[in-house]
Amino acid sequence: MTTPIVAIHGGAGTMSRAAISAEQERQYLDALNDVLAGAQDVLAQGGSALDAVTEAVRRLEDCPLFNAGHGAVFTSAGTHELDASIMDGATLRSGAIANVNCVRNPVFAARRVMEDSKHVFFVGKGAEDFAREQGLEIVDPSYFSTPARYEQLLRVQREMPDAAVLDHDGQAMVAKEQPAAAPIDADRKFGTVGAVALDARGNLAAATSTGGITNKQIGRVGDAPLIGAGCYAANQTCAVSTTGTGEMFIRMVAAYDVAAQMEYRGVSLEEAANAVIHDRLPRIGGKGGLIAVDAQGRVALPFNTEGMYRGYARVGEAPVASIYR
């Protein structure tokens, strides 16, 4: 029997510590701890790693502080396109959906694809129709909108009308008229959420979900729903969920690369995760981070930005949540 563990992330990016209050920072830490406690409880009651990551990501999707589900960023057309993926390390089964705008919890749809279809990946209307057929909760697209995200879209369109801005990457756009409202500046943040877990039976699982990037072109899909890029799990090695410059994580097949290095090079989880985040991705300008847990319950949470919303919780121990380095 192994001690079950769950780890989560809510995005990585540039810090704005000087612009926030202690109360705002505590709001994010409280949210992370609440998500960890919920997933930890699933594992403590004998739940599977799949159940734990589903619960964690569901809670992150429901929290407007993060760019997934309620609180998702806007496309260039002022709409929402949500993506999610999930993978079972015991069987390598996986499911994913992309470009949906009415499924309340995309992670639920991804899991249904994995468990109740013969396919792996549904997109757009087909994904939404599948979710309806499965009886998942369907909402009006306005459910995902928040005033803060809409202002973010207007600011990007005003200052960089032709740019799609990752939920982190305001390096080229200076938005000085408003103080940051979060420990990681919303205009300088990679907006993805994810969870990885190891259960008492030694099974691993991973899940990732995102609202995409602000002002993106309709139809763009990043790494979050792509098995091997934004999400991967195999009992023999590890479970991984990523957050960062999606196109770069796709090119590097970043999530799978952690597992592959462990299997083929024989290195530890920590060494493999650090190699991907601090060596391989920077070669092509990739920024962000990942969370990972291996078959022995070791956890890695590396990032090459100034901070990452992150945390982990072992059954029987208090959750640990962090933002800054």
Summarize the annotated binding site for substrate as residue ranges: 220-223, 243-246
pTM of the model: 0.93
Q: How many CB atoms lie within 10 A of CB 89?
A: 29
Report yes or no: 208 and 244 within 8 Å, Cβ to Cβ: no
Q: Is the pLDDT of residue 30 over 60?
A: yes
Tokens read off for 128: 């939404």
Give the span between the Cα atoms of 300 and 180, in whole angstroms. Answer: 28
Confidence class for position 186, pLDDT limits 50, 70, 90: confident
- Among the listed residues 192, 210, 237, 305, the single catalytic one is 192
36-52 b/e (C-beta count within 10 Å ≥ 16 → b): bebbbebbbeebbbbbb
The pLDDT of residue 172 is 32
Mean pLDDT of 184-196: 84
140 residue type, one letter: D
Summarize the annotated binding site as residue ranges: 220-223, 243-246
Mean pLDDT of 135-161: 89
The pLDDT of residue 162 is 62
The pLDDT of residue 78 is 93
Q: Is the pLDDT of residue 271 over 80?
A: yes
Catalytic: 192? yes
- Superfamily per CATH, domain 5-147+186-324: (Glycosyl)asparaginase (3.60.20.30)
Residues 6+ apart with CB under 8 A from 171: 188
Confidence class for position 19, pLDDT limits 50, 70, 90: low
CA neighbor of 46 nearest in space, from 201, 204, 195: 201
The pLDDT of residue 22 is 86
Average pLDDT score over the chain: 92
Q: Is the pLDDT of residue 134 over 60?
A: yes
Residues 6+ apart with CB under 8 A from 198: 2, 4, 5, 6, 49, 204, 239, 293, 294, 295, 297
Confidence class for position 179, pLDDT limits 50, 70, 90: very low
Q: Is the pLDDT of residue 169 over 60?
A: no
Report yes or no: 306 and 324 within 8 Å, Cβ to Cβ: yes
Give the span between the Cα atoms of 130 and 296, in whole angstroms. Answer: 36
Confidence class for position 174, pLDDT limits 50, 70, 90: very low
54-107 residue pLDDT tens: 999 999 999 999 999 999 999 999 999 999 999 999 999 999 999 999 999 999
217-267 residue pLDDT tens: 999 999 999 999 999 999 999 999 999 999 999 999 999 999 999 999 999
Mean pLDDT of 12-25: 78
The pLDDT of residue 316 is 97
The pLDDT of residue 161 is 65
